[in-house]
Amino acid sequence: MLAIYRKYRPKKLEDLFGQDTIVQIIKNSAAAGRLAHAYLFYGSRGAGKTSTARLIAKIANCQTRQTDPEFRKLGEPCNKCSACLEIDNGQALDVIEIDAASNRGIEEIRSLKEGIRLSPTSYPYKVFIIDEVHQLTKEAFNALLKTLEEPPQHAILILATTEIEKVPATISSRAQKFHFKKVSLKNITDKLEKICEAENIKYSKEGLELIASASDGSFRDAESLLDQILGLENEISAQAVEKILGRISFSRIADLTDLLIKGDLERSLEYVNEINEEGYNIAQFNKELIHYFRKVLALHFSPTLENEYKKILTDSEITLLKNHSKELTSTKEQKIINLVKSLIRAYSEMRYSPFASVPLEIAIIENLK
């Protein structure tokens, strides 16, 4: 059985969520028959870099595009011809993927240089995809540079990296560069919803949002987490996600924040004890609490940040943050700032303490007594 992230890998450019500008540029280039011979994709992990590279390989070699001028104008692969199907199934001899993390030396790049000169066996184009290209050695980069300077007409070279700053300028300047942004929580949640509906999986919106939040902007991580949870649960609920990931929902973080802002010491300590007794990772809980307060303070002093938070949070989460930011009167501002400082100190102690909840409880007592 295919893993969800492989089964629902984008089949066409339109399936790439959250990268609208990149999609439009590549579609326009494909429609005009002007695909570049070298690309450099960089940005967050799981944002679609390798998937886009494979889509370019399909577009360049799609047989329907070669025979149907009207279809070519769409700038998409047909996903029906033998070339598209072979590339999807990883059976295309003319599409070569190299993981630079484990093939980082000059010998591997010399082999690429020799292979790239040979004509394709079945398709119009040979496509070389080098993932994690920043891991190449200096000598390997120098060897790659020669290929980028004079690529054969039948070759397309696509480099992908999460660390663009480690790629030499001589390399990046010879490729079309595309920045893949971290995907928004809404985009990830929308895709998870489509997967659940296609697979007839029962789900709650809050459960999917919790998975999306845990994925930190990565489609691949979100889909892998969904697979993991389905291994133990038949329904994706917030409770199931919390139990399996040991991650607390946004609303529960907001509940403790409410108690802390109101200065309710007794109920705050009871709440922390409840979280601890339920078996959640208390250090992770404190980390989420710190991030929550950071957003509350940021919104309090700079309300325009709401537009940025809308990219990563749901409307209900934004409402909770705004309500708490409004509760920070001038007399409470410094108290909350001091509390956050204490929580940060507590977090550094919690990671190494056999009594993980104690530093958090002490931080709360010191600031609310």
Q: What mean pLDDT is reported for the chain?
A: 86
Q: Please state the domain count of the chain.
A: 3
- Residue 141: per-residue pLDDT: 84
pLDDT tens string 286-343 = 998 999 999 999 999 998 888 888 777 777 788 889 999 998 888 888 999 999 999 9
Q: Structure tokens of 283?
A: 């250090």
User: Over the range 159-193, which residues count as b (16 or more CB within 10 Å of their CB) and which as e?
Assistant: bbbbebeebeeebbebbbebebbbbbbbbbbebbe
pLDDT at 265 over 90: yes
Query: Is 35 in the same domain as 75?
Result: yes
pLDDT at 356 over 60: yes
Query: Is 121 in the same domain as 207?
Result: no
Query: Is 232 in the same domain as 154?
Result: no
Query: Is 84 in the same domain as 222?
Result: no
- What percentage of the chain reaches a pLDDT higher than 90? 30
Q: What is the mean pLDDT of residues 59-63?
A: 92
Distance CA 98, CA 133 (A): 9
Query: Which of 296, 290, 294 lies closest to 350 in space, CA to CA?
Result: 290
Query: Is 193 in the same domain as 301?
Result: no
Q: What is the mean pLDDT of residues 31-53?
A: 89
- Residue 246: per-residue pLDDT: 67
Q: How confident is the model at residue 280 (pLDDT cuts 50, 70, 90)?
A: confident
* Torsion angle defined by CA atoms of residues 147, 152, 156 and 161, in that order, rounded to the nearest 10 degrees: 0
| CATH number reported for the structural domain that contains residue 101 in this entry | 3.40.50.300
pLDDT tens string 6-35 = 777 888 888 888 788 999 999 999 998 888
Spatial contact of 164 and 42, defined as CB atoms under 8 Å apart: yes
Q: What contacts 76, CB < 8 A, 6 or more positions away? A: 12, 13, 14, 27, 30, 59
Query: Is 216 in the same domain as 339?
Result: no
Q: What stretches of the chain show up as alpha helix (H) in DSSP?
A: 4-7, 20-31, 49-61, 63-67, 69-72, 82-88, 106-117, 138-149, 169-172, 185-198, 205-214, 219-230, 238-245, 250-262, 265-277, 282-301, 306-309, 315-326, 330-350, 357-368
Query: Is 212 in the same domain as 79?
Result: no
Amino acid symbol at 231: G
- Residue 104: per-residue pLDDT: 62
pLDDT at 56 over 90: yes
Query: Is 154 in the same domain as 13?
Result: yes
- Residue 255: per-residue pLDDT: 92
Distance CA 129, CA 167 (A): 15
Q: What is the mean pLDDT of residues 217-244?
A: 81
Model pTM greater than 0.85? Answer: no
Distance of CA 324 to the CA centre of its chain: 28
Q: What contacts 52, CB < 8 A, 6 or more positions away? A: 10, 13, 16, 19, 22, 26, 41, 178, 180
- Residue 5: per-residue pLDDT: 72
SS3 199: coil
**Residue-number span of the structural domain to which 358 is assigned:** 250-368
Query: Is 206 in the same domain as 320?
Result: no
Query: Is 286 in the same domain as 341?
Result: yes
Query: Is 262 in the same domain as 147?
Result: no
155-161/126-131 β-pairing? parallel
**Domain finish residue from 224, 245, 266:** 245
Distance CA 74, CA 88 (A): 19
**Domain finish residue from 245, 274, 297:** 245
pLDDT at 1 over 60: no
Distance CA 8, CA 309 (A): 28
Q: How confident is the model at residue 345 (pLDDT cuts 50, 70, 90)?
A: very high
Query: Is 105 in the same domain as 149?
Result: yes
Spatial contact of 126 and 156, defined as CB atoms under 8 Å apart: yes
| CATH number reported for the structural domain that contains residue 272 in this entry | 1.20.272.10
Spatial contact of 338 and 331, defined as CB atoms under 8 Å apart: no
**Domain finish residue from 180, 203, 218:** 180
